[in-house]
């Protein structure tokens, strides 16, 4: 499998992922996965496609991710990784699709409306 660019997105984050057969190295923005993501929860989100397909130590993965926070970035990496594994082996498509890993999560922050303090919060109602 030649090194190819795969893109994943979540909220305002965009991840570009390069994958090739290897021994399980996972580099995010030139840092190890454990160094880049502080919490175990975000690391689990990132590695979920590998665990579901049982390919944990089969690939070397290099990711460049920009925008958003840790949650959005981990979701974007997960999306890109799922797309890469799906293209690598068509037999994995059913497993990835069943877990919802191939679908882009389209939830975004709702914009603030004028005349209101936040997107949905309104001023206190006064009858008189």
Q: What is the pTM of this model?
A: 0.89
d(CA 90, CA 108): 30
In sequence order, the 6+-apart residues with CB closer than 8 A to the CB of 35 are none
| DSSP SS3 for 51 | helix
Q: Is 44 left (phi over 0), alpha (psi -120 to 50) or beta?
A: alpha
Q: What is the pLDDT of residues 29-63, one digit of tens each?
A: 999 999 999 999 999 999 999 999 988 888 999 99
Q: What is the pLDDT of residue 109?
A: 94
Q: What is the mean pLDDT of the chain?
A: 92
Token reading at 105: 């999560």
């Amino acid at each position: 499998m030649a090194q190819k660019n795969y893109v994943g997105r979540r909220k305002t984050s965009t991840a570009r992922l390069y994958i090739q057969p290897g021994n399980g190295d996972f580099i995010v923005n030139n840092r190890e996965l454990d160094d880049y993501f502080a919490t175990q929860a975000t690391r689990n989100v990132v590695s979920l496609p590998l665990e579901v397909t049982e390919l944990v130590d089969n690939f070397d993965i290099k990711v460049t991710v920009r925008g958003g926070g840790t949650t959005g970035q981990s979701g974007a990496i997960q999306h890109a990784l799922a797309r890469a594994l799906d293209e690598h082996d068509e037999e994995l498509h059913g497993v990835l699709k069943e877990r919802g890993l191939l679908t882009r999560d389209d939830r975004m922050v709702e914009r603030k409306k004028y005349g209101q303090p936040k997107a949905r919060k309104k001023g206190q109602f006064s009858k008189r």
